[in-house]
Structure 1
Amino acid sequence: MKFLTFYFILFSCCFVGYAQHSGISGRITSKGNPLENITVKLIGLNKSTKSDRAGFYEFNNLLKGAVEIQFSGVSFQSKSIKANLQNDSLSLNIELVDLESNLNDIIITGVNRATELKKSPVPIAVLTKKSMDQNVNTNLIEAIVKGVPGVTAVTTGPNVSKPFIRGLGYNRVLTLYDGLRQEGQQWGDEHGIEVDEYGINRVEVVKGPASLTYGSDALAGVINMIPYTPNFESGKLRGDFTSNYQSNNGTFGTSLGLAYINHDWKYTLRATGKAAHNYSNKIDGLVYGTAFREYNLSASARVDKSWGFSKTAITYYNNLMEIPDGSRDSLTRKFTRQVLDEGDDIKNRPIVSVNDLSSYSINPLHQHIQHYRFYNTSQFKFENSDLNLLIGGQQSVRREYNHPTIPVQAGLYVVLNTFNYDVKYNLADFSGIESTIGINGMYQANRSKAATDFPIPDYDLFDIGVFYYAKKSFGKIDLTGGIRMDRRNINWNNFYVGTDSQTGFGKKSDEHDQAADLQFPAFNKNYYGLSGSLGLTYNISEKLLIKANIARGYRAPNITEIGSNGLDPGAHIVYLGNRTFKPEFNLQEDVGIIAYLEDADISMEIFNNNIQNYIYQSRLTDENGNPVVVVPGNLTYQYQQSKARLYGTELAVNLHPSSIKWLTFNNSFAYVVGLNKNEELLRLHGRDAEYLPFIPPLQIRSELKVTAQKSIGFLEKPYFKVDAVVFADQNKFYALDDTETFTRGYTLFNAGLGSTLKSKSGKNILDIFVQVDNIFNVAYQSHLNRLKYFEYYQSTPNGRSGIYNMGRNMSFKIVVPF
């Protein structure tokens, strides 16, 4: 009996000890200041809370044992802590670091597991919504250009910007929306990115070949645009209302976003509208054909469970955008409009009225772009590994109207359907090696509808690639590398074009029409690519590190490069492709050094990029050197292929003196040279063929910013900034057949201020941003502005050729959270 009593008491004590509860509490700060509304989550226990105004948080009634606590908040680096709860409550104070100045920022793009930014040898830049809000942006790509050195854009007016990374663009830059590759006829000059700029919370940019993870079309790099994911307490409805006005082209932009959390489920909804009339500059006045009207809708639902998560989302993009052609009166330089199809004389078109120039109505010659996206991304967690799945469908509908006598008749009408798939399995660690295997690709079908012009055939594309990626740390050295194999098939049947007897325009026809011409003979070809990378990061110390990476990229020729044979009405260009083109391969070496000091962040990156089978556009001329005109009033370009080399450097020096916390001075320098290595062209044409087209000039950006460290009345830490952007002369251009011309350098000065307005109770009322770009209304032409070449006369009365970029522009933006 004594032994039974002893064991009963012992068992009872053990049971009581096991069932005993504990707690966690603490204070969250940043630079000594308490942080409010920081989310504190107990991983795997479905428990979360928010810090109060004093930065205090607390959990009670927790069982003993190991627990992982995650701290996260907008504009701050997330932090995870593992702890072991005992009988006593745990006191845990946390210091968070600003996202913009932290080298340990967690990134996803370009790698296959969450990785600290400083550990990745691949050059990666992160841009937050806070940074984007503090600039004047006419579209999302422009915001990225202003925030990331080495990224530029080829533009066609204010609403079309195609990203370039280190001198490479078009299909060489892969754009992603929430990890899903963006497919929307991005081969054209005037084809922008179909994404709602107000719905993007974060942008990650990989500079350099990323074919290892994504396959073809990531030769130059990747831009991943990540939408907002709600992270607050359950049962709450949150949202924001954004309104933006820009003075130059009268842009009105409004966006309403809603987010709701119900236990494990998170829901978002956003609606956006934008409208603008023609933009202006002091040389051209209002530039006819640059107005636009854009609408966006998006919604998502995400569930988080112990097994992982699953998110389903849908987006809709609708854009009406005018088509500029640059035609003018030869003496007054006023813009004129096309009113005839047959018998049109560019020199005798009527002048556009003042009312039409300033109208928000979209003129008959315009583009109508619609983009639908539906996708699901999921993660399934296992004991020591996880499986990530992404599947999505997209439809891009593009109509370009270029017939003034029959305005409802589309010149171009194409529908592109794409199915994307991506499967990645993160294996369990083995001997300290983190590895991933994956398979991804897409199926695509493009079909022309009731149009009159057919620059590309109806084609089918199937893409598949498999890869292996691994990383391992050896003390201060982090190694990463992998290999990938791709196969892409592109095929189409015979494509015939005839003539509509009623309108006289072209029409899609078939082989049974005796009068039809075979515009695109049947084609079927497979393209294969082997790519890979190897890189290391040497952490000399926590504050100083060196990176080196070598990568081989691959890109199959796109549809216009191999199959085009006709007019793209929106571009005013007749494209001629080459069916014999080979895939592009590049070998790029990157070396970088980063110093994260008390008073400054300093980074320098140097790259060298050699490309085999580089494809580029060149104007077509006859044997006498005269431009070939296939369609009157439109340029003719033929694609070429040769060796190429690009090299350059990027330098960033961001000063934030610890003794003067209210002052920051950020500076960046970017320079790239693109060399055409076609020996025959160089022998025949010398310097005219020495360089590649679309290479940005040397660029320097400097920003001086003053931020109050305390509230001033109802203004929470207001800021004021001034910045200057210097673009050097671009005398290294592709001059053969006048494809490009010299571009004079210029300097733009900008200024801005902003703050958060708070109520007496300390609640955020709204964020306000005021910004002026091009303060001195400088007349300039960007070297990457396609409108620079929209000119019909050899000489002009004012000595100015082509169309100039936007003049002074003032922006007023408010963001109202609720």
Structure 2
Amino acid sequence: MNRYLLAILLLLPQFAFSVGEIKNNKLSGIISDQKDNSPIPGVSIFIPEIQKGTVSDENGAYQLEHLPSGKMTLQFSFIGFESVIKTIVINKENLKLDVKMPFTTVTTQEVVVSGGFPSAQHENSIKISVLKEKELQQLSTPSLGEKLASIPGVDVISRSPGVSTPVIRGLSLNNIIFLNNGVRMENFQFSTDHPFLTNEQGADHIEVIKGPASLLYGSDAMGGVINVLKEKPAPANSFKADINSEYHSVTKGYSNSIGVKSSGKDWFWMIRANQQSHKDYKDASGDYVPNTRFNTEGLQLGLGLIKEYGSFKIYYDYLQPKLGMTNDESLEVVSEGKRKNHYWYQDLEQHLLSLKNRIFLGRYKLEFNAAYQFNNRRLNGNPNSSIFRLVDMDLKTFTYDSKLYFPGSEGSEFLVGIQGMHQSNENKGAPNRIIPNAKIDDFSVFSLLKKEIGDASLQFGVRYDHRSIYVPEQEAGGHSHGEAEEHEEEEHEEGEHDEHDEHEKELVHINRNFDHLNASIGATYHVSESLLLRTNFATAYRVPNLAELSQHGLHGNRFEEGNTNLNPQKSLESDLGVHYHTQNHNIDLSLFYNKVYDYIYLAPTDEPAPEGEGNVYSYSQQDAKLYGGEVAINVVPLSFLKFHTDYAMVIAKQDDGGRLPFIPQHKLNMNVKIFGKGNRTFKDPFFSVNWKYAFEQDNPAQFETSTSSYDLLGLQAGSDFKMGKYKMNLLLSASNLLNKKYIDHLSSLKPLGFYNPGRNLSIKLGFNL
């Protein structure tokens, strides 16, 4: 009850402020080239806070109407020019803002929203990497995890292109948080077989926080945060539609996406439908890797109202993937190279309804967001068995967060906020229960202060979190991905129980509360216009998940035993970053050291397993450390030539000398890109060569083996072009061009002896109205 009273007290101040007289605030101006003052048509002007934007006309002029009063951040962006980011205070009906855009040949910064305050990347004390819309479109892979892995410091644990989970600086699963447009995703992410159910089709961009983010997002954000931001509404008073299709030879797979959206002066709507289907992929020998097929359908809807006193948006996301599972049992029954899921697959369903609101109350701003997500996870086995549906669970999650932004003086911002979650898991009629019926409640309160002092920007925050986990008394269990459940069920039906069976049953009951206080302090110092330094010190924590606390049974081929007495993981990380840029090149260097206390890991014991083979595997804890860094260099020596190089490494050790699992190989990427002149028909044509080298991983964890080095070559060519009055784009790609046989260290098919995908030739075609 106290937490709800606190929530009311925090929200009450909003009603004390008068909205005042509603005005039709307008913002207008001229956008021109900094070099010769010539107007620039087609510049995108966008206000992320209210999701409203427009495009400059042929004279470089723009106008936005019905804007709220108050402080807001604007981004002006156009290909070939450095993005201009302005923070303005709208306090009169007709505000003029002319912008001169400087020419640049390298990647420019973006406005990011995952760091607490909407701001330019260079103003954040925590490193936020951005994968832009154009970059997403040019990543030719059906796997969202592989797209994320193009960011230095991010990798992917993969069973197939459809089943993958990201790794940030060596931490994964419940150690990172995945957001869908700011909404925390809950998809049974305690296992590498359970990917985050988020659809990136049509996304505007993806933001990745590399490092602790518990200050902003609570438990599980020890390793970082991935936020997939929805596509922007159509510019004011316009209608847009697009159709995008792609084909991949390695899976004989295709993907289609259709989007339609429209905006008026103060409203917008959007709808997008997508579907993809992939057969079992082939390795470099031309052999099928059985049951790596997957099929997905999705739908995204959005509706928004933007008035002088605020913005109000509602979104609905639906995703239904069917993901093949490659395991010992499926190898015996699955026909290779097929498309339809029939044996041994996850049949998943995800519904997400979210509300995002921002109210402007004089000099105050109130943000209130709420979301409900329903996730049904079914694991289907052999349809010829008497038990086909092995797992059937419903996960229901309600989340909310509210932030009150206080009036700030010039160069300062301050907010207080609350966040909460109520979650319930319910097992249905299927015999296997990898996690029990349970209820989880979260509540947190936090504050964040940002202050500019001279050439430095300081950021400080504190946060208190409370989590309660309640598991009513029930039989503990797991599942084997095999047929043992069928035999057990038959015995129960016949009443053939013996004393040994009764003795093996174990009950689980959990009623625990966890409290934690986190803090973060960081600074960004602009040594000059070209050079900035960034440092941050932050604490983070993670509450043990339900599987770690309660499991008792076979999971795969191991008998795993949970530990109801596990402590939360805690960490302290320090980061140091250097960024240098000129018109023709930029350099990013990031170093980190992360000390993790009570790291949770699985290890064998001396106790013989009551089922399966070998001994019982039990969850234990020990202190650990992770350290390393990333460097990325972009150089454009000529207007038509660009070189890119990045290198990422992470070393992870337990204090007893053991190694942590799922630590990626050190990786070096190089890219050479050549730009064409183009003409009236073809615009921005390019050709690129990519080379990746993964170093040998000779420090495996206890259950892993060493992995040899490998290198991959890729080619890409593409262009935008016009067909009549329509805009189109074409992309041709070849990955693993030399068709090399290799296994990545984070492939979860490695224990089964299967190689990663062989050569993949792909084609993407987009049509824009």
Q: TM-score, normalised by structure 1?
A: 0.82
Q: Is the 8 A contact 1:530 1:554 kept in 2?
A: no
Match of 1:754 in 2: 718
Match of 1:704 in 2: 672
| Distance of 1:142 and 1:43 partners within structure 2 | 27
Match of 2:611 among 630, 646, 662: 630
How does 1:62-77 map onto structure 2 within 5 Å?
Answer: 72-73=76-77, 77=83
What is the letter of the counterpart of residue 301 of structure 1?
A: L
| Distance of 2:459 and 2:87 partners within structure 1 | 26
What is the letter of the counterpart of residue 138 of structure 1?
A: P
User: CA shift at 1:284, angstroms?
Assistant: 7.0
Match of 1:119 among 104, 116, 123: 123
Q: Is the 8 A contact 2:310 2:358 kept in 1?
A: yes
SS in 2 for 1:582: coil
Q: Is the 8 A contact 1:37 1:73 kept in 2?
A: no
- Range 208-217 or range 361-370, more displaced: 361-370
How does 1:100-139 map onto structure 2 within 5 Å?
Answer: 101-103=107-109, 105-109=110-114, 111-139=115-143
How does 1:104-253 map onto structure 2 within 5 Å?
Answer: 105-109=110-114, 111-146=115-150, 148-234=151-237, 236-253=238-255
Change (3 A) 1:150 1:455: same
Match of 2:256 in 1: 254
How does 1:738-777 map onto structure 2 within 5 Å?
Answer: 739-759=703-723, 763-777=725-739
Match of 1:16 in 2: none
SS in 2 for 1:606: strand
Matched, 1:720 2:687: yes
Match of 2:435 in 1: 456
| Distance of 1:81 and 1:484 partners within structure 2 | 27
Match of 1:12 in 2: none
How does 1:469-480 map onto structure 2 within 5 Å?
Answer: 469-480=448-459
Q: Is the 8 A contact 1:599 1:655 kept in 2?
A: yes
Match of 2:9 in 1: none
| Distance of 2:560 and 2:678 partners within structure 1 | 58
CA RMSD of aligned residues (A): 3.4
What is the letter of the counterpart of residue 746 of structure 1?
A: Y
Change (3 A) 1:712 1:166: same
Match of 2:639 in 1: 661
Change (3 A) 1:741 1:263: same
| Distance of 1:77 and 1:432 partners within structure 2 | 21
What is the letter of the counterpart of residue 767 of structure 1?
A: N
Q: Is the 8 A contact 1:41 1:70 kept in 2?
A: yes
Q: Is the 8 A contact 1:268 1:301 kept in 2?
A: yes
User: CA shift at 1:608, angstroms?
Assistant: 0.5
* Residues 413-468 of structure 1: CA deviation (Å, up to 9, x unaligned): 11100000111111112585421111102011001111121121111100111111
| Distance of 1:528 and 1:593 partners within structure 2 | 35
How does 1:49-448 map onto structure 2 within 5 Å?
Answer: 50-52=55-57, 54-57=58-61, 72-73=76-77, 77=83, 79-80=85-86, 92=98, 94-95=100-101, 101-103=107-109, 105-109=110-114, 111-146=115-150, 148-234=151-237, 236-283=238-285, 285-326=287-328, 336-338=331-333, 356-406=335-385, 409-429=388-408, 433-448=412-427
Q: Is the 8 A contact 1:671 1:698 kept in 2?
A: yes
Match of 2:564 in 1: 579
Change (3 A) 1:392 1:806: same
Match of 1:538 in 2: 525
Q: Is the 8 A contact 2:426 2:438 kept in 1?
A: yes
| Distance of 2:502 and 2:302 partners within structure 1 | 51
SS in 1 for 2:663: coil
Match of 2:659 in 1: 691
How does 1:441-520 map onto structure 2 within 5 Å?
Answer: 441-496=420-475, 503-504=489-490, 518-520=505-507
| Distance of 1:43 and 1:322 partners within structure 2 | 38
What is the letter of the counterpart of residue 563 of structure 1?
A: S
Change (3 A) 1:268 1:119: same
SS in 2 for 1:694: coil
| Distance of 2:27 and 2:132 partners within structure 1 | 34
| Distance of 2:183 and 2:588 partners within structure 1 | 30
Change (3 A) 1:245 1:98: farther
Q: Is the 8 A contact 1:139 1:197 kept in 2?
A: no
| Distance of 1:35 and 1:245 partners within structure 2 | 36
Match of 2:6 in 1: none
- Range 277-286 or range 480-489, more displaced: 277-286
Change (3 A) 1:516 1:488: same
User: CA shift at 1:566, angstroms?
Assistant: 2.7
Match of 1:809 among 754, 760, 767: 760
Matched length: 726
Matched, 1:600 2:556: no
| Distance of 1:539 and 1:532 partners within structure 2 | 24
Match of 2:17 in 1: none
User: CA shift at 1:528, angstroms?
Assistant: 1.5
Match of 1:652 in 2: 632
What is the letter of the counterpart of residue 744 of structure 2?
A: S
Q: Is the 8 A contact 2:50 2:306 kept in 1?
A: no
Structure number, greater radius of gyration: 1
User: CA shift at 1:94, angstroms?
Assistant: 3.3
| Distance of 1:609 and 1:85 partners within structure 2 | 44
User: CA shift at 1:212, angstroms?
Assistant: 0.4
Change (3 A) 1:93 1:592: closer
SS in 1 for 2:430: coil
| Distance of 1:257 and 1:394 partners within structure 2 | 23
User: CA shift at 1:182, angstroms?
Assistant: 0.5
| Distance of 1:440 and 1:61 partners within structure 2 | 32
* Residues 82-125 of structure 1: CA deviation (Å, up to 9, x unaligned): 69999x9989463266797224x21111x221122111111110
Change (3 A) 1:46 1:134: closer
Q: Is the 8 A contact 2:353 2:371 kept in 1?
A: yes
Change (3 A) 1:450 1:24: closer
What is the letter of the counterpart of residue 644 of structure 1?
A: A
Q: Is the 8 A contact 1:378 1:390 kept in 2?
A: yes
Q: Is the 8 A contact 1:617 1:639 kept in 2?
A: yes
Q: Is the 8 A contact 1:552 1:586 kept in 2?
A: yes
Change (3 A) 1:61 1:360: closer
Q: Is the 8 A contact 2:440 2:470 kept in 1?
A: yes
User: CA shift at 1:597, angstroms?
Assistant: 1.8
| Distance of 1:612 and 1:60 partners within structure 2 | 51
Change (3 A) 1:43 1:400: closer
* Residues 564-617 of structure 1: CA deviation (Å, up to 9, x unaligned): 12344xx56543221111001000010111101232101111110100000123
Matched-pair identity in %: 27
Q: Which runs of 5+ in 1 are unaligned?
A: 1-21, 328-334, 339-351, 683-689, 791-801
What is the letter of the counterpart of residue 571 of structure 2?
A: N
Q: Is the 8 A contact 1:497 1:506 kept in 2?
A: no
What is the letter of the counterpart of residue 163 of structure 2?
A: V
User: CA shift at 1:503, angstroms?
Assistant: 4.7
Matched, 1:670 2:648: yes
| Distance of 1:276 and 1:757 partners within structure 2 | 29
* Residues 45-77 of structure 1: CA deviation (Å, up to 9, x unaligned): 99986433x453266999xx9999966457673
SS in 1 for 2:744: coil
| Distance of 1:182 and 1:453 partners within structure 2 | 24
